[in-house]
Structure 1
Amino acid sequence: MTKKIDEAQRINDWIATSKEYESLLRAVDRLRNVNETIPPAFIKCIAGLEKAIVDAVAKEKTATKKMKAPNAKAMNGMKQKVKKAVVEHSDAVQKYNELS
């Protein structure tokens, strides 16, 4: 799933990124019910998404050709969802950012 998110993010398709992120969240919730731990791949994914969103917002502000409306809405939604996930798992994300 994280590979699909990376591919969609690379081509700036925030609608597909949002759909894949939602499926990743469902899978992580199922895993947490069984193992009580958060997979390291999930932490890596939300840390990467946070950086990608910051970069995309910066590019969008300076771009002459703006993003289409549905894609921009999906990006803004992803910004809020990722921000929420980063706050929930702030310790793990902070450790990941320090190590990478």
Structure 2
Amino acid sequence: MADPTRWQVLQLLAERGEQTATRLAGLLPVSRPAVIKHLTTLQQHELVSSRRLGREVLYSANPSRLIETARWMETVGTTWQASLLRLRALAEGTGQSR
């Protein structure tokens, strides 16, 4: 999920609404097959949904899942920040006792 292009695909869908893989590929420095691979991964994580309209497949961001993911990331970030602060305090305490 950490791939920068994948995040660009998700951001474009969130900002511009429904898009085809072809249109997304035109906005990114990657091929249409690469965009489809990113969309597939995003769909597997339920961050993107798709619907068929005639011969085209339209992709869109899943707002509820994005909100849930953002909350999870905030929780993880807070946990890491607290851990790093404890580690820093420990390191500074260890450094002072030498």
| Alignment TM-score, normalising by the size of structure 1 | 0.34
Larger Rg belongs to? 2
Which structure exhibits the higher relative contact order, with contacts defined as CA atoms closer than 8 Å and separated by 6 or more residues? Answer: 1
More helix by share: 1
